[in-house]
């Protein structure tokens, strides 16, 4: 029986969520501001900033996945399709896109 695990869910978001780039842009701006407040010797390089932003994305996706997982029937004949149906029925991608455009850090 195939169900949508977190990795597949994250790949689905990566492929279908139009506002992912907005999230990354806003998250990077936030990390740059945080970095500027650090003592010069403690400031992060670009790679570390990018890892922090990627972690923020993964944490956000994990939170959404865990919330969706509670509501989705995985004991159906096609659990993967249950995920897709839930996402479409609840306009989840549209709502996430809207949330990303309104998102503010710090």
Whether residue 90 lies inside any domain: the answer is yes
Whether residue 1 lies inside any domain: the answer is no
Model confidence pLDDT, tens digit, residues 11-26: 999 999 989 999 999 9
Is residue 16 within 8 Å of residue 91, measured between CB atoms?
A: no
- Residues with pLDDT less than 70, the chain: 1-2, 74
3 state SS of 105? coil
Q: How many domains does the chain have?
A: 1
Q: Domain range holding 41?
A: 6-102
For the entire predicted model, the pTM comes to: 0.86
User: Per-residue DSSP letters for 1-57?
Assistant: -----HHHHHHHHHHH-TTHHHHHHHHHHHHHHHHHHS-GGGPPPHHHHHHHHHHHH
């Amino acid at each position: 029986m195939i169900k949508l695990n977190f990795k597949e869910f994250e790949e689905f978001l990566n492929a279908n969520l139009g506002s992912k780039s907005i999230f990354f842009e806003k998250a990077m701006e936030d990390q740059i501001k945080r970095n500027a407040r650090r003592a010069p010797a403690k400031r992060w390089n670009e790679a570390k900033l990018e890892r922090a932003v990627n972690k923020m994305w993964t944490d956000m996706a994990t939170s959404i996945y865990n919330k969706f997982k509670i509501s989705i029937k995985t004991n159906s004949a096609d659990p993967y399709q249950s995920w897709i149906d839930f996402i479409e029925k609840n306009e989840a991608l549209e709502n996430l896109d809207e949330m990303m455009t309104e998102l503010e850090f710090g």
